[in-house]
A and B are shown apart, each in its own frame.
Chain A
Amino acid sequence: MLSLLSSLLSLLFVFLISCCIITNHFSFRPLSLLKLLGFIKFTASRDDDNNYKRDEGTYVVGEEELQRELMPRHVAVIMDGNRRWAKREGLLTSQGHEAGAKRLIDFSELCFKLGIHTVSAFAFSTENWGRHKIEVKCLMSLIQHYLKSKIQYFQREETRVSIIGNLTKIPESLRQTIHEIEEATKSYKKKHLVLAIDYSGRLDILRACKSIVHKSETGLIREEDVDEALIERELLTNSTEFPSPDLLIRTSGEQRISNFFLWQLAYTELFFSPVHWPDFDKDKLVEALVSYQRRERRFGCRV
């Protein structure tokens, strides 16, 4: 019995040694023991927010390390899949959108906790007006309800909230709520949540052109002053400190940008996730951020 046990242990030892040799040979870079202990510590107290910061400058989340210095400054998200999620769960479309709204709050909270400055979300596109009237009405009510009920939350979290888009077609009550929340949070600088409502990337560019025309009529600019930088300053994202997203996430497996931030997404890392938006939890966000941090972005130049 003893000899059998010692044989098994020897075999296991030899196997592990060969694993060690193979990993070194193929230049795999296993994490160090210290990081393993950090991982074990994290999984043991998974929901304890205090364990997010392990040591200065790095966060251990799940099995990978996210580096603070490589965190994107601006993350944009196209929240696709609420209806399909509701259908799969046997729920109403309105419940799907409600789940989506809750997911956005969690998502933005997590992003800010990880050091991301700006989060933009494509809440309602110009093309969405073509949906069923009841669904549109429900969406407008949902947005209004969430904005109104979260004013104190955003103030407590010191998060600035901005709403961009063509706000002329939305209900007056929602417009008032938007004004209220923007006024209540306009002084906060460290975190910025941008909601795009009735937004179209093409119309954003056109609106910028119109704005330039008005300024030229009042003599503020001359014809020859129109350049890329001027157009960028006139886009609806001019209220953000970082107008161009570093990372765009789109859920539900669709691989297109659907008229969102057309001008701003030139060098944005695109991450298409197959899960529906209400299911896009912390693990999926980490996956997106890890993917982002591994990329070598050159912004069109040779580095």
Chain B
Amino acid sequence: MDLNQSMRLLSSWIAQIGGLGLDLLWRFIHLVVSLWYIVSGIIEAVESYAISLGLNKKYSSINIEKLRCLAVVVDIEEARDVSKVIELLQWLRTIGVKQVGLFDSQGLLKKSKDMILGTVPGSVLSEEIGEKNSSPDQNPLALEFISSSDNKEAVMKAANILLQDYLKSSRPENDKGENFFTETHLNEALRVVGENVHAPDLLLVYGPIRSHLGFPAWRLRYTEIVHMGSLNYMRYGSLLKAIHKFTGVHQNYGT
């Protein structure tokens, strides 16, 4: 019996040591993977700083003409820190972007509109561009403030306008509205509602999730969408890299 007990004890020790060994090995693997991600993050940060300092010749000249309209989606939690948004806009102005749409789902940036316009030099509301020369700046940064109410609610209002126009119009009995409900008509109705229908070329999403968070859907048909991570950790180099990457994108629009 002593031998059996000894064998059982020995088996138990072996099992425990084996378990400990496997556990340590597993932690080692996790350490290696974590170190890999840390190193990747460091490389990305270094690259970003190198781009910011102009050390990377590839990013020194960007064909910004291709980027006619840029949109920025900011998560509502991060939109509360307006200073970061202002810093981002200043960077975009430095890069040469001329038109920026700022979106957050609850309209927090809309409420801070005056502060942003007052702080970012050369910025004007996009509606004011083309009117009397309100900005002395030769290259103003046109800003548009957008929220969720400009998405589905706006389409709903535009649909109502189309409906009212259709019902009031004199049309043949068999007219099913084929000539009344086209993209052009809805564009026009959205303009009547006060919405901008220009589609941004590039949409930068700042926040924890890769979603456009309700940006006006009608405008997003062929927009490039890039997730930039948290606004709190934004880097000039990453921004430049994203815009540079966009300028190299070729779209065949489904054909």
Binding site for B on A (CB under 8 A): 16-17, 19-20, 22-23, 26, 28, 30-31, 33, 36, 125-128, 130-131, 201-203, 205-210, 212-214, 216-217, 223, 226-228, 231, 254-259, 262-263, 265-272, 291, 295-298, 300-302
- The residue in B21, B176, B217, B253 that gathers the most chain A C-beta atoms within 10 A of its C-beta is B217
From B19, B183, B214, A202 is in contact (CB under 8 Å) with B183
- The residue in B152, B210, B214 that gathers the most chain A C-beta atoms within 10 A of its C-beta is B210
The 8 A CB mask of B5-47 against A (1 = contact, 0 = none) is 0000000000000010111111111110010000000000000
Is B152 touching A257 in the complex (CB atoms < 8 A)?
Answer: no
Closest-CB distance, B147 to chain A (whole angstroms): 9
B76 closest partner in A (C-beta)? A302
The 4 closest A-B pairs by CB, nearest first: A127-B254, A300-B105, A130-B255, A16-B24
Is B156 touching A216 in the complex (CB atoms < 8 A)?
Answer: no
Residues of B within 8 A of A272 (CB): 225
- The residue in A30, A217, A223 that gathers the most chain B C-beta atoms within 10 A of its C-beta is A30
The 8 A CB mask of B170-184 against A (1 = contact, 0 = none) is 000000110001110
Is B212 an interface residue, CB under 8 A from the partner? Answer: yes
From A16, A23, A210, B25 is in contact (CB under 8 Å) with A16
Is B155 an interface residue, CB under 8 A from the partner? Answer: yes
Q: A209-B181, A266-B217 are in contact. Are A255 and B106 (CB under 8 A)?
A: no
Is B76 touching A255 in the complex (CB atoms < 8 A)?
Answer: no
A147 to B227, CA, bound (A): 36
Is B63 an interface residue, CB under 8 A from the partner? Answer: no
Residues of B within 8 A of A210 (CB): 176-177, 181
Is B86 an interface residue, CB under 8 A from the partner? Answer: no
A-B contact pairs, 18 of them (CB 8 A): A23-B34, A126-B254, A127-B254, A130-B254, A205-B186, A209-B181, A214-B177, A223-B163, A226-B163, A231-B155, A256-B224, A258-B221, A262-B217, A262-B220, A263-B155, A266-B215, A267-B211, A296-B209
A26 to B30, CA, bound (A): 12
From B21, B155, B208, A205 is in contact (CB under 8 Å) with B155
From B23, B26, B148, A300 is in contact (CB under 8 Å) with B148
A259 to B253, CA, bound (A): 10
Is B160 touching A223 in the complex (CB atoms < 8 A)?
Answer: yes
Residues of B212-255 contacting chain A, CB below 8 A: 212-215, 217-218, 220-227, 249, 251, 253-255
Is B225 touching A270 in the complex (CB atoms < 8 A)?
Answer: yes
Is B214 touching A266 in the complex (CB atoms < 8 A)?
Answer: yes
Residues of A within 8 A of B19 (CB): 33
Closest-CB distance, B182 to chain A (whole angstroms): 7
Residues of B95-111 contacting chain A, CB below 8 A: 105-106
From B30, B163, B221, A262 is in contact (CB under 8 Å) with B221
Is B217 touching A263 in the complex (CB atoms < 8 A)?
Answer: yes
Residues of A within 8 A of B148 (CB): 300
Residues of B within 8 A of A33 (CB): 19, 22-23, 26
Is B163 touching A266 in the complex (CB atoms < 8 A)?
Answer: no
Is A209 touching B163 in the complex (CB atoms < 8 A)?
Answer: yes
A207 to B19, CA, bound (A): 63
Residues of A within 8 A of B26 (CB): 30-31, 33, 36
A16 closest partner in B (C-beta)? B24
Is B153 an interface residue, CB under 8 A from the partner? Answer: yes
A302 to B254, CA, bound (A): 37
From B24, B215, B224, A255 is in contact (CB under 8 Å) with B224
Is B27 touching A23 in the complex (CB atoms < 8 A)?
Answer: yes
Is B164 an interface residue, CB under 8 A from the partner? Answer: yes
Is A257 touching B23 in the complex (CB atoms < 8 A)?
Answer: no
A125 to B221, CA, bound (A): 12
Is B3 an interface residue, CB under 8 A from the partner? Answer: no
Q: A19-B31, A269-B209 are in contact. Are A213 and B166 (CB under 8 A)?
A: yes
Q: A130-B254, A271-B210 are in contact. Are A213 and B226 (CB under 8 A)?
A: no
Is B225 touching A255 in the complex (CB atoms < 8 A)?
Answer: yes
Is B162 an interface residue, CB under 8 A from the partner? Answer: yes
A224 closest partner in B (C-beta)? B160
A268 to B164, CA, bound (A): 32
Q: A23-B27, A255-B226, A263-B217 are in contact. Are A296 and B208 (CB under 8 A)?
A: yes
